[in-house]
């Protein structure tokens, strides 16, 4: 007779087992990208031995790492020769226009912070010190540029700014959105408003833009003062870094500083109203728990409520499903 306690479970445990070690897959990507294997491979491909020589490392670990990358569809293997997959060739090769290695490097560093998630959950405080280090701040800004390149294209297509003259890009980072919008709308001037070290990075990107003469920078603290003289304000990836009360105050300051009529745009990653999905904004809320005092991800109705409490009207949401991104626009009459 079979013992019921030994019978096969009715639910397949594989998804759980995969989930338990999915960070190992991410680490293989982080380390291969940090070692710059994909740039090294792009011209002619290489054997594990050739790559080990080029990196000054032993063949065994390099072969293991490259085989893992084959399984992850980052590399392809024929005989003993490895080449980049289409994905790796487009996004992981230094010097290519959509190089995302700075973003992968950011996630690689972030992994060490995520190791402290349990501490953050137990204490309800950030478990990393705020980013004061110059090198970190600059590399974070370059990494944000990599990811915001894509969302800035969607922003320029989906939010019509042809009627507006002066955009304030609040916490504008590398200026990615300002540059894209100024290049799209020939009558638009844009100001990247951020902390000193960050605007230095923005200035480098702005200098390379054909719209450089219409884009400026402004150093300041958005929690204290919002410069006036603008009829459009953008907060891209800003509200998730702040608590609800700070966002209400911030949007009120934006409302008061904005010319009339004016438009405000929020770009962020809202979970659904029940907070049951999508995965990205719900995992990203934990990222904010680890890294910020009060940050969180906000649903559409919470975001609209921030805007309306500040005095904005005609709130409109553009959901970019399946991308975990939404644009919220609202008007100051
Ligand atoms: C997540 S990044 C977003 C950058 C950019 N908006 C984008 O979407 O690519 C947040 C930015 O806000 C800036 N920031 C954070 N707190 C700030 C403050 N109190 N005053 C001005 N800028 C601030 C950071 O330096 C950083 O560049």
CATH code assigned at 60: 1.10.10.10
Q: Answer whether the bond into residue 322 is a cis peptide, omega within 30°.
A: yes
pLDDT of residue 4 exceeding 80: no
Cα(194) to ligand 1 centroid in Å equals 6
Residue 114 in domain: no
Same domain, 62 and 157: no
Confidence class for position 135, pLDDT limits 50, 70, 90: confident
Protein residues whose CB sits closer than 6 Å to any atom of ligand 1: 141, 144, 148, 171-173, 176, 194-195, 198, 221-223, 236-238
Residue 120 in domain: no
pLDDT of residue 1 exceeding 60: no
Distance, in Å, from the CA atom of 80 to the CA atom of 68, rounded to the nearest integer, reads 14
Cα(300) to ligand 1 centroid in Å equals 21
Distance, in Å, from the CA atom of 233 to the CA atom of 89, rounded to the nearest integer, reads 36
pLDDT of residue 107 exceeding 90: yes
Same domain, 70 and 146: no
Angle in degrees, 0-180, between the axes of helices 196-207 and 176-184, rounded to the nearest 10 = 40
Tell which residue, 193, 318, 314, 174, has the closest CA to residue 253. 193
Distance, in Å, from the CA atom of 113 to the CA atom of 287, rounded to the nearest integer, reads 9
- Averaged pLDDT for residues 189-214: 97
Residue 119 in domain: no
Same domain, 215 and 311: yes
Q: In this prediction, what percent of the chain has a pLDDT beyond 90?
A: 90
Distance, in Å, from the CA atom of 81 to the CA atom of 44, rounded to the nearest integer, reads 10
What is the per-residue pLDDT across 284-309, written as a single tens digit (0 to 9) for each?
Answer: 999 999 999 999 999 999 999 999 99
| pLDDT value of residue 284 | 97
Residues 294, 239 contacting (CB under 8 angstroms) = no
Residue 97 in domain: no
Residue 216's contacts (CB-CB under 8 Å, 6 or more residues apart) are: 189, 190, 191, 192
| pLDDT value of residue 2 | 58
Same domain, 149 and 245: yes
Is the pTM for the entire model greater than 0.75? Answer: yes
- Protein residue with its CA nearest to atom 12 in ligand 1: 171
What is the per-residue pLDDT across 159-185, written as a single tens digit (0 to 9) for each?
Answer: 999 999 999 999 999 999 999 999 999
- Protein residue with its CA nearest to atom 13 in ligand 1: 171
- Protein residue with its CA nearest to atom 14 in ligand 1: 171
Same domain, 211 and 319: yes
Same domain, 237 and 307: yes
Name the domain boundary from 91, 118, 147. 91
The question of whether 240 is a catalytic residue gets the answer: yes
What is the per-residue pLDDT across 79-92, written as a single tens digit (0 to 9) for each?
Answer: 999 999 999 999 99
Name the domain boundary from 62, 91, 120. 91
Same domain, 83 and 225: no
| pLDDT value of residue 146 | 86
What is the per-residue pLDDT across 49-71, written as a single tens digit (0 to 9) for each?
Answer: 999 999 999 999 999 999 999 99
Distance, in Å, from the CA atom of 245 to the CA atom of 208, rounded to the nearest integer, reads 38
Domain of 151, in residue numbers:
130-332
Confidence class for position 133, pLDDT limits 50, 70, 90: confident
| pLDDT value of residue 321 | 87
Give the residue, out of 238, 267, 287, with the most ligand 1 atoms within 8 A of its beta carbon, to mutate for a pocket test: 238
Same domain, 280 and 188: yes
**Active-site residue identified among 145, 230, 240, 291:** 240
pLDDT of residue 5 exceeding 80: no
Please state, in angstroms and as integers, the Cα–Cα distance from residue 187 to each residue in 9, 27, 57, 183, 184, following that order: 64, 45, 54, 9, 9
- Protein residue with its CA nearest to atom 3 in ligand 1: 237
Same domain, 149 and 23: no
Residue 299 in domain: yes
Same domain, 45 and 140: no
Residue 19's contacts (CB-CB under 8 Å, 6 or more residues apart) are: none
Cα(20) to ligand 1 centroid in Å equals 33
pLDDT of residue 136 exceeding 90: no
Residue 103 in domain: no
- Averaged pLDDT for residues 275-288: 97
What is the per-residue pLDDT across 237-247, written as a single tens digit (0 to 9) for each?
Answer: 999 999 999 99
| Structural tokens at position 8 | 């096969």
Tell me the CATH number at 263: 3.40.50.150
DSSP 3-state of 173: coil
Distance, in Å, from the CA atom of 247 to the CA atom of 266, rounded to the nearest integer, reads 11
| pLDDT value of residue 123 | 97
Confidence class for position 231, pLDDT limits 50, 70, 90: very high
Residue 56 in domain: yes
Same domain, 156 and 225: yes
Same domain, 214 and 305: yes
- Averaged pLDDT for residues 37-48: 96
Q: What's the number of domains the chain is made of?
A: 2
- The mean predicted confidence, pLDDT, of the chain is 95
Residue 118 in domain: no
Name the domain boundary from 72, 91, 110. 91
| pLDDT value of residue 134 | 85
């Amino acid at each position: 007779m079979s013992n019921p306690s030994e019978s096969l479970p009715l639910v397949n445990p594989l998804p759980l087992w995969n989930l338990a070690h999915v960070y190992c897959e991410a680490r293989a990507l982080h380390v291969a990208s940090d070692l710059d294997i994909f740039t090294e491979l792009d011209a002619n491909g290489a054997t594990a031995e050739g790559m080990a020589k080029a990196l000054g490392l032993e063949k065994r670990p390099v072969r293991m790492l490259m085989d893992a990358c084959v399984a992850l569809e980052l590399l392809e293997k024929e005989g003993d020769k490895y080449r980049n997959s289409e994905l790796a060739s487009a996004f992981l090769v230094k010097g290519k226009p959509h190089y995302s290695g700075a973003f992968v490097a950011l996630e690689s560093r972030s992994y060490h912070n995520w190791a402290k998630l349990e501490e953050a959950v137990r204490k309800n405080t950030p478990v990393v010190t705020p980013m004061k280090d110059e090198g970190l701040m600059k590399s974070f800004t370059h990494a944000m540029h990599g990811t915001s390149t894509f969302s800035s294209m969607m922003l320029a297509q989906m939010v019509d700014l042809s009627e507006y003259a002066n955009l304030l890009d609040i916490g504008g980072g590398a200026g990615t959105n300002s540059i894209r919008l100024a290049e799209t709308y020939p009558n638009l001037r844009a100001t990247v408003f951020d902390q000193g070290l960050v605007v230095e990075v923005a200035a480098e990107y702005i200098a390379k833009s054909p719209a450089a003469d219409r884009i400026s920078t402004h150093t300041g603290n958005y929690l204290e003062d919002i410069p006036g003289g603008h009829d459009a304000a953008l907060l891209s990836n800003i509200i998730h870094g702040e608590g609800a009360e700070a966002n209400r105050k911030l949007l009120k300051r934006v409302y008061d500083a904005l010319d009339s009529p004016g438009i405000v745009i929020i770009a962020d990653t809202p979970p659904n109203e029940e907070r049951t999905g999508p995965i990205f904004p719900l995992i990203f809320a934990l990222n904010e728990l680890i890294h910020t005092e009060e940050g969180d991800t906000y649903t559409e109705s919470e975001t609209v409520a921030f805007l309306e409490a500040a005095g904005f009207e005609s709130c409109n949401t553009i959901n970019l499903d399946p991308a975990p991104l939404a644009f919220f626009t609202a008007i100051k009459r």
